[in-house]
Structure 1
Amino acid sequence: MKALVLAVQFMTRLPLPAIAASERDFARAIRWFPAAGILVGLCVAAAAWAGLRHDPWTGALAALLVWVAITGALHLDGLGDIADAAGAAHGDRERLSAVLADPHIGSFGVTAIGLQLIAKLVLLRLAMDTVPLAALVAVPIAARIGPMLWTLTLPPLHRGMGTSFGAGANWPVCAVWFLVLGASAWWTTPALLQAPAAITVWGIWLRQCIGGISGDGHGAGIELVETTTLAALVLFA
């Protein structure tokens, strides 16, 4: 149970009491990241539903604001860092590592975050007309399966929070969450089955261009898988 609480504390800004936890608890928390995604998805869908009482654009904006607020823009920060590193490194791994370690954000990062928010807003608006709100709940779940797969298939770039969580990832739990995703797709829309492809493509890109996985890679991947899955819902639902 501690691992679940830690996962929710790390992946959301929901008010939860502090708990004493061991390294083993932290490691096992990654297995519950998709469960934290359920809470994120429920809040996003509820905000969309409330906004829809006025009009679809209000529903989309409410959903986006809640999405950013409940996650504390944690994953957007990773997206900005990866964009800065990839844009400034020009294939130089040492330069890439230096940019990733820099806490400041540059023009590449600002642009990536801005485009990500615009893309999510527009896709959420289109989703208001094309998909059941239950499908929106599944989008954050699908994206948070990614960290387990990336941890299992990619070398760590450095020691940090990502490696502490990643030590608890395993294939059986990953498979169970993919089955949950499959059940969600059967219940709502098969377009959700695009998510594993997006997760795989991001892992390939990280291996080829970054060289491994880090907390920033996890965060950026979650954001991009969410947007790609939203696009699939709009285009193929």
Structure 2
Amino acid sequence: MIGRSGSDLGPPFPGAELVYDLAACLRFFTRLPIPPLPDEPDPFGVPDFRTVPRMLPVAGLLLALPAALVLVLAWEIRLGPFVAAALALVATALITGAMHEDGLADVADGFGGGQSRERSLEIMRDSRIGAYGGTALFLGLALRAATLATLLDRSGALAAIALLFAAALSRTAALIPIARLEPARPGGAGAAVGRPTRATLGIAALLCLMLAGLGAALGLPPLGLLLALVLAPLAALALSALARRKIGGQTGDVVGACQQVGEVVVLLALVAATA
């Protein structure tokens, strides 16, 4: 049998690099046991964020798919909109390990309680949650549950599609602090993964636009999608500016906070535009 040798150049199959990037995104952002793919280079190494995030919109959609299924199933068996929405958030937290929620809580504590850059970073590293973090975490979960419940009251199918789109767009918008800011901790995870190139960001943005078009075809309100496409990046830009002022750069917690705020903004936009 003739196999591929180390001297072989080029991908083992068309689109292999994109598939590898998708697998890397799912491994990095979830707890899903994604196995190594054929001829995948260093499948369990630190992902190279110069290129890997170009598939983040697709990864965001896929990781939210189980939560969307839970949402629809709970709604169909008449558990009620709020219970269905809460169970969907439970599913999301189990799949992601609540890493973004943790980032939101840490940023709220660090930015709210730190009077200096050093103190803010120290608080953000503390595993304990303070009053700012607890409040931010509660409000974030409450707003996500409330918006999903409101969408469920209007259409179960559209609520599931909205959840998928929000997961994809919010994670893509959360690339903004990585692209715009230097790592606040030179030895932290933000420094290890690198910064997305313009081409990577362009591909990710194009995929989000394609998902928005698909969402419109499936019934999501075009005005809500347009608002979401504008407001999610603006929220990430605002948080990035705050992070620059408070800690002089970005951390993984800042990225997680941008994702959480972005998801709330997307869902609010879709609720506001849904009759």
TM, length-normalised to structure 2: 0.77
1:173 equivalenced with 2:196 (yes/no): no
CA spacing shift, 1:35–1:164, aligned 2, 3 Å: farther
Q: Would the aligned equivalents of 1:143 and 1:225 in 2 still touch at CA under 8 Å?
A: yes
1:107 and 1:84 map into 2 onto residues whose CA distance is 7
Which stretch shows the higher mean deviation, 57-66 or 151-160?
A: 57-66
The corresponding residue for 2:57 is 34
1:113 CA drift (Å): 1.2
| 8 Å Cα contact 2:22-2:55 kept in structure 1 | yes
How much has 1:12 moved relative to structure 2?
1.2
Q: Tell me which residue corresponds to 1:71.
A: 96
2:69 to 46, 50, 56: 46
Superposition pairs of residues 133-148 of structure 1, within 5 angstroms = 133-148=160-175
Give how far 1:215 is off.
0.6
Q: Which protein has the larger Cα radius of gyration, Structure 1 or Structure 2?
A: 2
Relative distance call for 1:64 and 1:24 in structure 2 (3 A) is closer
Counterpart amino acid of 1:189? P
Matched ranges for 1:111-190 at <5 A: 111-130=135-154, 132=158, 133-158=160-185, 159-167=187-195, 169-186=196-213, 187=216, 188-190=220-222
TM-score w.r.t. the length of structure 1 is 0.88
Give the percent of matched residue pairs that are identical in Structure 1 and Structure 2. 31
How far did 1:220 drift?
A: 1.1
Letter in 1 for 2:131: S
Find the residue that maps to 2:207 and give its secondary structure.
helix
Q: How far apart are residue 23 of structure 1 and its match?
A: 6.0
Code of the aligned partner of 2:194: G
Q: Which runs of 5+ in 2 are unaligned?
A: 1-18
When you count helix as a share of all residues, which structure comes out higher?
1
Separation in structure 2 between the aligned mates of residue 138 and residue 119 of structure 1, nearest angstrom = 16
- Mapped to 2, the partners of 1:25 and 1:2 lie a distance apart of 10
Change (3 A) 1:24 1:99: closer
Correspondence 1:209 to 2:239: no
- Tell me the distance in 1 between the aligned counterparts of 2:135 and 2:44: 39
Q: Does 1:88 align with 2:113?
A: yes
Kindly indicate whether the alpha-carbon contact (under 8 Å) linking 2:86 and 2:145 is maintained by their aligned counterparts in 1: yes
Equivalent residue number for residue 107 of structure 1: 131
Alignment of 1:53-68 (within 5 A): 53=76, 54=78, 55-68=80-93
Gaps of 5+ in 1: none
3-state SS of 2:128 partner:
coil
Q: SS in structure 2 opposite 1:144?
A: helix
* Counterpart residue number, 1:97: 121
Q: Which amino acid aligns with 2:191?
A: T
Q: Deviations over 1:193-213 (max 9, x none)?
A: 232222222222222333211
